């Protein structure tokens, strides 16, 4: 199934090594941790911008909390999809 490509590390190329011995892929858990760390930084930016525009911290926090989850999910699947593309890898 297509979803297995995102979550089943056996079907991804994370065990394949390039000629330099460097891993060309990453595990799903690494993608999850990267997604969370990126979203924390991005959400702080969104909250600050929303607060500056609206002048209301509650509105800024509401906007930030919604986008935290939606963009983290989008980023995870974006990373996993790009992990399947061989273009630009060594």
Residue 71 lies in a domain: yes
Number of domains in the chain: 1
Q: What are 47-74's pLDDT values in tens digits?
A: 999 999 999 999 999 999 999 889 888 8
Residue 67 lies in a domain: yes
- The boundaries of the domain holding residue 60 are 55-82
The mean predicted confidence, pLDDT, of the chain is: 81
pLDDT the model gives residue 14: 47
What phi, psi does 20 have (nearest 5°)? -90, -5
Residue 22 lies in a domain: no
Residue 4 lies in a domain: no
pLDDT the model gives residue 7: 58
Residue 78 lies in a domain: yes
Please give the Cα distance from 34 to 37 (Å, whole number): 5
Residue 65 lies in a domain: yes
pLDDT the model gives residue 1: 54
Residue 29 lies in a domain: no
Average pLDDT over every residue of 15-28: 65
Residues 6+ apart with CB under 8 A from 79: 26, 31, 34, 35
């Amino acid at each position: 199934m297509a979803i297995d490509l995102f979550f089943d590390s056996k079907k991804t190329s994370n065990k394949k090594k390039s000629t330099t011995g460097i891993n060309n892929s990453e595990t799903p858990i690494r993608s999850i941790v990267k997604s969370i760390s990126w979203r924390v930084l991005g959400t702080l930016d969104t909250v600050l911008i929303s607060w500056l525009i609206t002048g209301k911290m509650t509105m800024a926090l509401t906007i930030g909390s919604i986008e935290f989850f939606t963009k983290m999910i989008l980023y995870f699947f974006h990373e996993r999809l790009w992990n399947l593309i061989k273009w630009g890898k060594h």
